[in-house]
Structure 1
Amino acid sequence: MKEQQSQVFIITGMGRSGTSLVARFLQSVGIHMGDRLPAADQHNRYGYFEDLDFIYFHEHILARHGLDYFANPQEPLALIPEEIAAARKLISAKSIRPRWGWKDPRTAFVLDFWRSELPQAHFILLFRNPVEVFFSQLKSHEWTDDPLTIIDAWVAYNNHVLQFYTHYPQQCILCNIHGLLQNIPAFETVMQKKFGVAATIARELYDAESLHHLEMPQPIVKFLTARFPKLMALYENLQKTADIPYVPSDADAERDLTPLLDYACNVLHTVLQQQSREHQALQKNYQELSEAFKQKQLQHDTFLQDLTNSETYRLAQTIQRSWIMKCVRLLQNKKGAEPPEP
């Protein structure tokens, strides 16, 4: 067991599950979430609240295992001595603050390691409906591989999250992000109960448009359960286990399909636009390469033409013809004779 002087808060869950939003909540109540944070962009207009020191650390671990952001390892990732030393150096540097933490989805694959290094740390584990995550990831990434890898990654991230919560429930808060936003006072209460943190989260920190919520009509739920039974079983297990699940309204079962289909069409439109931009870029590269090839071909043809017209080339041709004729005459006059030196 390692001595821990400051309070540490670790936020994880698959990307597009509200981790940035909750990191923003914690930052607003005085929990330092990092000095070097990525800038906001069109996918996260309020910012990501990701400490780049931890992002690069986790990316290195994934890369060494041959994995990327959309990884689906079945077991927690092991660290080598050099990585353990780097992690301890990070902890030492960050622990100058009384309350600090970080948010990174990749943390899900090394939760056991971080708990061994920070045995009193507080973990906030977030999940979101897999359909919403799927569409959100499609919108925020330029996909060239099979988009169904998003589904595999969702299962992997949330399996790790659920297993960790099952082992250490008193040290974790497990939330459906829409359940949390549905009842922010419940989140404040469980923060006080489990972590001893009194926090009042300003409602203006959350913009409903920044985290799209899709109500799942029963026909869609039935289809997904039949097509992806393990996926939906895991989501239901997360809902049953969570400190703060999402509570659907009575009208959800009769929900009109139109909003869902409209959103799906908008996502598809975005993806097709991305692919069109990629196709245009490839076409431009092809045209540039084709033009460069033509220029090289022209230079080559010009060189050959200049060479053919040069005095040196004509002299070489004359000598070659003369030598060939001598060889022919010798062969005609003396069978088997060696050809003269050119």
Structure 2
Amino acid sequence: MNQSIIIAGMHRSGTSLSGNLLEQSGLFIGERLLSGGFDNKKGHFEDLEILSLHEKDLKLKQLDTRGLTGNIKGSLNFEQETNVLVDAFLSKRKNQVIWGWKEPRTTLYLQAWKQKLPNAKCIAIYRHYDEVEDSLIRRYRRKLKYGVGMSFTVRLKHILLYPINIFIKKYEAYKAWCIYNENILEFKKQHTDAVIVVELNHFLNNYNNIIVNVNKQFKTELQQIDVDKIFEKSLLKNSDGNGLKIRVFSKKRLDSVLGKLNDESLWI
């Protein structure tokens, strides 16, 4: 039987690492994957075809192709042009026994993918909002420092407006964290038995026990692995919770979403 597992989660929430681990456990996640960079040295583990169709659909909607800014409300549906690409992609996977993919923008399209794949399951990874924001800001600063993906003019503009831009980036990061994780919660509410929500650090520290639960709930046969051979703890920076944090966003909303995620999460 063809089985599919979607790996969902906000950007910088450990979905790349999770995709790596699940691939080692026997989940086919694609042949053409996005290579690593300064922000993900081990690789992104993103199927390039999935990434491309999400970016195209967001562009058709006149939204930020990163899926991090703009007026995004609720789960997005595929445009007619994108539907053709999705169907073509799925036809290539029909002979795979157990397969899936990781691409953060998927989290914005969970309902649309579920319509295409009624039997699809989902492992949703979440991470504390401050850690995600911190990771996004560090990535932005590094891009700015070395001019990664920026023309000279764009980089100069960002440098001159940095005091303003940094607050905008922080606001966008927290807002996107809420949107992505609210989508996960809504998807979990509608498809309870098809979704396993798990906090990143708990997922890493209890991976093989969680795989046992995944196999039982999803009726899969994923393998247990030696996580320490794959996961380099030094690459994952966690917040120590100390010091003043300027969030420029509603902490009440952030804590509300985080609390609901904790309530829905698998704890072992």
The verdict on how the C-alpha distance between 1:195 and 1:220 changes in structure 2, with shifts beyond 3 A counting, is farther
> What CA distance in whole angstroms lies between the structure 2 residues aligned with 1:180 and 1:114?
24
Q: Of the candidates 13, 16, 29, which is equivalent to residue 17 of structure 1? A: 13
Letter in structure 2 aligned against 1:202: D
Q: Of the candidates 226, 235, 257, which is equivalent to residue 202 of structure 1? A: 226
Q: Of the candidates 36, 47, 53, which is equivalent to residue 51 of structure 1? A: 47
Letter in structure 2 aligned against 1:96: N
Helix, strand or coil for the counterpart of 1:54? helix
Q: Deviations over 1:25-60 (max 9, x none)?
A: 111122211111121122111111100000000011
The verdict on how the C-alpha distance between 1:122 and 1:43 changes in structure 2, with shifts beyond 3 A counting, is same
Counterpart in the other structure of 2:136: 137
> What CA distance in whole angstroms lies between the structure 1 residues aligned with 2:49 and 2:224?
28
Helix, strand or coil for the counterpart of 1:174? strand
Letter in structure 1 aligned against 2:110: L
Counterpart in the other structure of 1:154: 177
Counterpart in the other structure of 1:28: 24
Letter in structure 2 aligned against 1:168: H
Counterpart in the other structure of 2:100: 101
Counterpart in the other structure of 1:212: 237
Counterpart in the other structure of 1:60: 56
> What CA distance in whole angstroms lies between the structure 1 residues aligned with 2:256 and 2:244?
15
Letter in structure 1 aligned against 2:224: T
Structure 2 residue 120 is matched with structure 1 residue 121: yes
Equivalence map 1:295-334=2 (5 Å): none
Asked if the contact 2:77–2:111 (Cα under 8 Å) also holds between the matched residues in 1, the reply is: no
The Cα RMSD (Å) is 2.2
Structure 2 residue 234 is matched with structure 1 residue 235: no
Q: Deviations over 1:216-250 (max 9, x none)?
A: 25x869x97x95210111111111111138xxxxx
Letter in structure 2 aligned against 1:200: Q
The higher radius of gyration belongs to: 1
Q: Percent identity?
A: 26
Compare relative contact order (CA 8 Å, sep 6+) and give the higher one, 1 or 2: 2
Q: Of the candidates 188, 199, 215, which is equivalent to residue 165 of structure 1? A: 188
Asked if the contact 1:186–1:244 (Cα under 8 Å) also holds between the matched residues in 2, the reply is: no
Equivalence map 1:259-274=2 (5 Å): none
Q: Deviations over 1:99-135 (max 9, x none)?
A: 2111111011111111111111111111100100011
Counterpart in the other structure of 1:80: 79
Counterpart in the other structure of 2:89: 90
Q: Of the candidates 206, 227, 230, which is equivalent to residue 183 of structure 1? A: 206
**Deviation of the 1:96 alpha carbon:** 2.6
Query: What is the total number of aligned residue pairs between the two structures?
Result: 239
Helix, strand or coil for the counterpart of 2:36? coil
Letter in structure 2 aligned against 1:135: D
Please, what TM-score do these two structures have when normalized by structure 2? Answer: 0.82
Q: Deviations over 1:137-163 (max 9, x none)?
A: 111234644212111111111111111
Asked if the contact 1:128–1:177 (Cα under 8 Å) also holds between the matched residues in 2, the reply is: yes
Helix, strand or coil for the counterpart of 1:41? coil
Asked if the contact 2:60–2:79 (Cα under 8 Å) also holds between the matched residues in 1, the reply is: no
> What CA distance in whole angstroms lies between the structure 2 residues aligned with 1:125 and 1:209?
23
**Deviation of the 1:186 alpha carbon:** 3.0
**Deviation of the 1:184 alpha carbon:** 1.9
Specify which structure has the higher proportion of helix.
1
Unaligned runs of 5+ residues in structure 2 are 145-157, 159-164
**Deviation of the 1:94 alpha carbon:** 2.1
Helix, strand or coil for the counterpart of 1:231? helix
